[in-house]
Each structure stands twice: as structure tokens, then as C-alpha cells.
Structure 1
């Protein structure tokens, strides 16, 4: 028994080291929790953005039940938040039938099924006290990871004032000029059927930076982007439809007198003015709203993708620990227990148990090192970016016959850990994609430092791909662009089917660049 005591102590030491490795993995889990906290902070900023805008913002599911509503919406409709969440929009903020007798239940049902048909629409809404208001809605479908419609994002602006104005215009032409110039909407009055502008209000002149003479002499082409679908030809067709078919509502790319392009929302409708049928055009500047909508949707989608990616990584780590490391440590512990018992009864079997336990511990240590390398290679912390890329290439060369070459010309020794990790992950993702899909006989990684810049390129001469078809569904390529953007640089993917792919990342290096 005394002869085997040193070996028992060695096994116990190895088991202790394995437990230390497991503790390191648990520390990694804590870092993931910190990442989740940062994501939650991003969500808080997103919610602050939503809560501070003076527009109604809500989300509803495919049955029309409200799943989110911002503070402005609660104030606008007169409800506390808890009386809106989970309630159907019909019966709370949307009447079943509007003042004109239109069935809004069917309209809401169609919006929930086909939001693309109702990207911009107006309808009558109601306050908690039963008062009616008009709202201009912009609707956008939100899809889950399977591409299925999950919710509808609705952004609304109060049109009640404009509706009252239109009603007053129809009811009393004698007050027309006063209202005409007081409204916040840019107004054009067009002749039928020529489309010639016969009158404009002061808001229009201020919005486009024109004098009255310039506005009256000009055409729609003069204040538009000038290219299809925002040219005179499309404008004439829309005016014709408004005059003979019914009201038209659309977004238009407009141009100020100084050449600045901006977005407007235009409503065209026939109106009798001074006893003469005209086409009345009402335009509002929606540039800020467009930017907000884009930012809101992009932020939400990115947040959703980051959360999904993090959750996938957490599940993968858990599976690998459970199916690999935990099983190996359990087996090693069992063999060690058997060894102590068998030493008293059967020395040969004790030796076999000892050998099996050693093998299990060695496998556990190897598995632990593999997991740590997958999370953050130790060589990245110990020796820096260049050495880490070289080590990565050695590992990847073992996976197949593809020749992988690394060329580097840099003067720095180390960079900030966040920079090194981001650059390493870009190389890792690019190489993984190339090895998996390109079928190229050769891949080349180039890292070059130039005055004020760091250039990273990963190039293959394989299959290539169509970026329009792949990038929408490839989170890895989005991740490359996102990492480069966070470092203040850019990432471009240059590829053509059958002619290979080059990932090119350019990052600014200056005296403020973080360095270790």
C-alpha cells in the first residue's frame, strides 16, 4: 500500500488541477453574465429612445393583442400601461366601426396577417373616454429566427388636427386662406388635369426654401429627387389618380432649393376650392421619423441576434461540459475510488483501475484545454495577436489539405485585449467560412500595419458566393462588420461566384489607439 501512496497523491493532484480548470470555466460563465448585463444596458438605451419620442409606438401580436406600448401612447390614449398590455387594439384604442361606418375589425385583422399591405395608412382611433382621434400609422412586420411573422411594430402620429383642417376646408371655404397658411403641413394646390401648381402655403415655402414666384413657376420635378420613382412622370400619374380615382398617400423623396434631399409623406385628394375641382397635396417632413424607424428596427434586430448568439454559445458550452468533461471527471473519480478499494483485495485490478483513471484525467485535461482555447486562446493573452493567429493556423491546417499562409508586417508588439480578441475572431470566422464553403486549395491571411492604419485581409480562390443571397442569413458576416465597426473601422466582403472571396478589414491606428 505504501508503495502506491505517491501515485495516489499524484492522481489526487491531477484531480485537483482538473477541478481548477472547471473553476476557470465557471469564471468564463461569469463573464458571459457580464456580457448579458451589457446587452441589457443596450436594451435600456433602446427603451429610453422609444419612451422619449413624441410618437405612438406599440407592438401587437398576430391576433391584434398589444405586447408593448410606450409612455407617449399611454398618455395619448389616456390609459395606464397595465390596462393596454395584453388587450386587443379593437375595443381599446380602435373602434369596431369608424365614424364613416367602415368596419375596422377587418382592417386590423388584415394588418396582422399582411402588414406589408398597410405600411402607411390612416384610421380613426379612440381615447379611453370615447373621444375620437385620427392617427397616421406606419406598420412593419417583425419576424422570428425562422422567418415567421411574430409581431407588428406600429408607429403613429396624431392626424386629428389635419383631419379637422380638411373638414373645415370642405365645410367653409371662406376660412380657407387663414387655415391654409396656419397649418404645419406644406400644401400645394394643383390644377386638373394639367397638374400645374396654382397655390402653395407659407409652410411649403419654408420647407423647400423657395420664394412664392419660384414655387409657382416650378414643377414637381424641381422639388423632387428627379429619378424614378421620384420624377415628374410618377408625380403626374399620382396626381391623375387623385383627381379621378381617389385619395393617394405615399412617401416621396423631395429636394430643397439648396439641393438637400429629404423624405416627405404626401397625401393627394380632390377638393373643391373656390367652386373649382382641384387636387390638394399635403406634405410633411418625415426625415427624422424615417431615421428613427430604421434605427429602431436595426437596434431591435441586432439585440435579438446577439441574445440568440449568446444563448447558443452558452448551450454549446453546457453540452460540451456535460457530455465530455463532466463524464470524464466522473469516470476518473470512480476509478480512483475503485483503486483505493482494490488495493486491499486485488492489486492487479487496482493497477488497471489506476491506469484507467489516469487516462480519464488526461482526457479531461485535454478537453479542458480545448474548451478554454475555444473561448479565448491562452496564447492570445500570453503572446499577442500575431502568435495567436499563427497558432490558429496550425490547428486549422490539421483539419484538411488546404494550404493556409500567414503574411504579416506590423511594428506593434501588443494591442488592447479587446482589439486583439476582435481581430482574432474576425480571422477565425473568415478562415472557418473559407474552409467550410470555398473548396479553395489555398487561403492567405495578410496583416499589415501602415501609417495610421491596420489592414487585415483573408483571401481564398475558391467558390465565392452571391452576397445578396448569403449576407441576409449569415450572422457570421454581420459579426465581422459589427466587430470592425466597434473598433472604428470598416469591413468589406469582396466576392464573385466562382472567383473566390476576400474579407478586407481596415482599422484606424493613431496615438489614441489602445495598446497593451
Structure 2
């Protein structure tokens, strides 16, 4: 039977209190003072009742109970001469009394009041070890040697026992702890203040459960431990979910880490190790992790609830950030943070190659637009050439033939001269047409390759007499991919035309060699006394050279210095076809 301590001097309605406590199923222990009370008697007390009468000063008795090692159990002051709404009752409550009641000598009414107080205490409301706790939290008091003195119904059900009396009979170390040594280790540590730990308990049927225990020791005035009191919560389901999350993190192909609410890194999977180059044990906190990776925000940052209420000195990454791997490599990583009550799950996706691909696609699109402009420019040039040359010559020939028809009978000699002029203009038209066709794509390029086509270009320049072209090559009869040959020919043609227009030198050196898997073309004119032609990106001819090279995955360097002429160096890979 559970004990009730009655602190009442002789004559202060002792018997009324004793009868009321017995009606509540308690075993009253009546004492005049606490000095002679044993440790076992103190530890086994479920409720302390101070009986106040005319000859008793309850304030002194309440103080004795609080300092005498019984502060953990509910304390009731039974007022005889005054009611529970008096000023004195308020004073007693402020001193630590859990309840003040008036009994007026009626044991039944007093027992009813006591039952209400004990029921409230059993559910945790107003209890010193768990004020405001609901019945889903177990609450207990136990002896130092490991026996329950008191437990609420929630703990009885949590451990699977049929009734409180059955639970009070168990040995806590043997019957409740999965590993009895764990209880001994906990009791060997700090026990005077509430501290929360997670331990493995077992139910009556042997099924293990994980519980979160917050407990402390209750001592008497001499510092001896009278009992332990604590609050218990079954966290088995939460722990199971945490294990599932941890397993999902460990085996996830996505780089993932779990961060506790205080910034500690709880879990760090292999994918994250592969992404960052750091092992799970090399960084303890998110701040250390961020510092070592040199996190730098990139572009817009996403808002994340994970940083709201975070401890000062650390923050979760969000959006896209640049990181520096352990080996020094720079990567662009997109972070996604999912927050939960006890921490955060941080997922990391390496988007470096994706961003490079997007940037390359943008460059290709811009290049395609420029190539289209080049093609349009070529069409315009052809139109001008046809209009100013070929069409004019044909028009002149037609006019001469018309004059011939008009003069043929009246002035045959003059008509003959018109006919000869018309034939000459037709011949020039044919020559111009062939020149235009050769400029677009000379037949010799298909017949003899790039070497024969450049030789044709050299001969054509010599016939014009405007500039001398010197050509050196080491390709021999070897044919190159069609796209490469066409690109090289157009670049050489553009460079020679550019030198003819702007250079003061009358000689251009063209070198075409193969170096490994690259074709290297260099075109150099001797320059002159004046400044060379402009080489800025806006110069259409030179920009066309750059873009033709880029279209095949190559490069073009164009340099010009006063007095030294223009140097154009183009490198084209043999294995690359145009990007489409």
C-alpha cells in the first residue's frame, strides 16, 4: 500500500486526516516532526499532508517538508480554522503547497478532496517532475536500489503491465532496462538536475522500446538520495523513422547529409563524400563544412526555413553555390534543404556540367546566329557581284547585239564592231561567272582538296597582279574532312581579301601544317608604315574568321602591330564536325 505522510502535532485533528487517507487507499504515517523519519520512509511517501490547527504554524511545517527531502511529492495543507480562500492559504501556496483544503472535521469530504488532488498529480499536472504533461508521458518515482515507488497509468501501459501494483513489484535494472549496466552508468553521472537521455527499455513481454527519460535525484537535508523522479516518453516510432531516414541517406545516390538543430552534422553519405572529397568524420558542424568548402553563393538564393531560428554563427546553404573540393576542384552545387523539428536534411546536386552545357548551348546559339549573318552577308556579296559585274556585262552584250541588229543592213562595218563587242562582253560574263563560282566553292576544292584549292587561289591572285601569295604546306595529297577543307579555304580567302584591302604590304605568307590531331593555319602579311587593319570583334571580315573556326570547335587568334602587319593563326581539330 502506498504511504501518506501526515505531519500533525497531537490534537490537531489527526484522526480525521488518517480516516480520510485510508478512504483514499493510502497508508497514513503520522509524525510530529521529520527528524526521526528514515530514508526508506521518506522515499516511500506518495503524498505529504500538513494539518493546520490553532496550535500549529503550517508555514514552518511546509518549510520542513521542502527542505527535508520531500519536495518531489504533492504537499497538501489541511486548514481547520481557516478556509482555502483565505489570505493565509494564498501565502502557503506561494511557499510551495500544491493544494490547500478545508475539512471542517468531515473525513468523507476531506477524502474526496484528497482523491482529486492525487488524480491530478498522477496525470502529471502540477507535478514538479513534469508540470503540464499529458497522460501520454509516463511519470515515476523510484528508490535508489531500483524499485518503482509510484508511476502513472501512462507508464504502466507503456511498459505493458496489467496494473500499477504489478509494475511496482519489478526490479528496474533487470526487468525494465535492456542492458542493466546502462542504468548504473546513468546513476554514476550527474543526477541532481533534470537531464534528458535516450535509452532502451523493454516491456513486460520482452519487446524492446526506445524511451526518452528526463530524471533527477531527490535528496534530504543531509544530501542523501531518497529517490529518483522522472518523466518518460516512448520515442520508438520516431527512432524507427530516424533509422529509415538514415538508411535512405546512407544509400541514396544523391549527396545528402543530416544536420541537427544545433548545427552538428549527424550523417554524411558516400555520395556527399564523393562530391566534396571530404569524409564523414572530417567535419563536425555545418559551419566547419561550409568554411572548408569555401561556399560562395552563385546567382539567386532560395529562401529556406532551415535558417529561421538557427543558432548564431552558422547557416544552411541554399540555392546554387560554388564549392571547392578537398582536391581543389571548383564545382557548382545546388542545395535543397528540408527541415524537420530536430534538424535538417541537406541534399546536394552537382550542376557543374549542366551549367557548362547550358552555357555551351547559349554560345552555340549565338554562334549560329552569327554564322547565319555570315551566310546572309555572303548572299549580299554575291548579289552585289552579280549586279555590278556579271549582270552589267550581260546587259552590255545585249545592248551591243541590239545595235548590231539595227545597223546590220545600213552600216554593216559598224554593226560588225558592235557584234565583236557583244561577244567580248559575253566572254567576260563567262569569266566573271566562273570567278564567282570559284569564290563560292571552287571545283578544284572537290577535285584536289585544300592544297589544290589554295594553289588555285595563289594563281588567281597572281593573275590579278594585286598581291603576291606565298603558300607552304606539309599535307601532301592527304584529304581532310570536307567541313575542315571548306572552312580553311574560306578563312584563307577572307584573310587574303583582307590583306588586299588594308595591308600596305604586297606579299602574304600562308602556312598550312598538321600538328597531331590539329590543322594549324597561319596567314601573315608584312604590314607597312601605317597601322594595321582593326582587329576588334566588330570588324566583319575578321569576326567571320573567328566564328568559322569556332563553328568547327577550333580557335582563331588575330594579332596586329604597327609596322609588323597582321598575324592570323587558326587551329582546327580534325575529329570535330560542326555542332548542330
TM-score band w.r.t. shorter chain: 0.3 to 0.5
The higher-RCO structure (CA 8 Å, 6+ apart) is 1
Structure label with greater radius of gyration:
2
TM-score, length-scaled by structure 2: 0.42
More helix by share: 1
TM-score, length-scaled by structure 1: 0.47
